[in-house]
Amino acid sequence: MKQSSSSDAGDRTVRLDKWLWAARFFKTRSQATAAVNGGKIHVNEQRCKAGRALQVGDAVRVSKAGLVFDVVVEGLADRRGPAPQAQALYRETAGSIQAREQAQAMQRAARMATPIPDGRPDKRERRALQRFKSGD
């Protein structure tokens, strides 16, 4: 008796956490599950569980590291494959690409404006920093 997998033509759904892992949004399935349980993933504008059945055409919003990805499911996979295969599983919306690029540019600008210390503070600087933090 042959076991069927979600790569067969007869299957039309796959678990959300498996798809997020296969599409390379997360390195591990446990990270994908934690993101879903933490409310960072929305499917068709609704919060969902990790075991939700995902179908082709569903709209998925992934919030990760301060960036938001709005994607439409183009293909289903429950196994992690090469990056080109993973990128073929979804299509990112034009508005999402533009918003994400703007957010990344703002993060880059903020990082450039942040002063970088020359090294570790000496004893005098450490004490001044402690006084500043404690409000003295």
pLDDT digits (tens, 9 = 90+) for 58-91: 999 999 988 999 999 999 998 999 999 999 999 9
Alpha-carbon 99 to chain mean position: 15
**d(C-alpha 127, C-alpha 24), whole Å:** 46
117 confidence band (pLDDT: 50, 70, 90): confident
Q: What does the chain come to in residues?
A: 136
| Model pLDDT, residue 11 | 56
Domain boundaries, the chain: 14-114
Q: Which amino acid is at 32?
A: A
pLDDT on residue 9 = 44
How far apart, in Å, are the Cα atoms of 88 and each of 62, 102, 104? 17, 24, 23
Of 71, 23, 65, which is closest to residue 40 (Cα–Cα)?
65
What CATH number should be reported for the domain whose range is 14-114? 3.10.290.10
Q: What is the pTM assigned to this prediction?
A: 0.75
pLDDT at 82: 95
Return the pLDDT at 79: 93
The mean predicted confidence, pLDDT, of the chain is 89
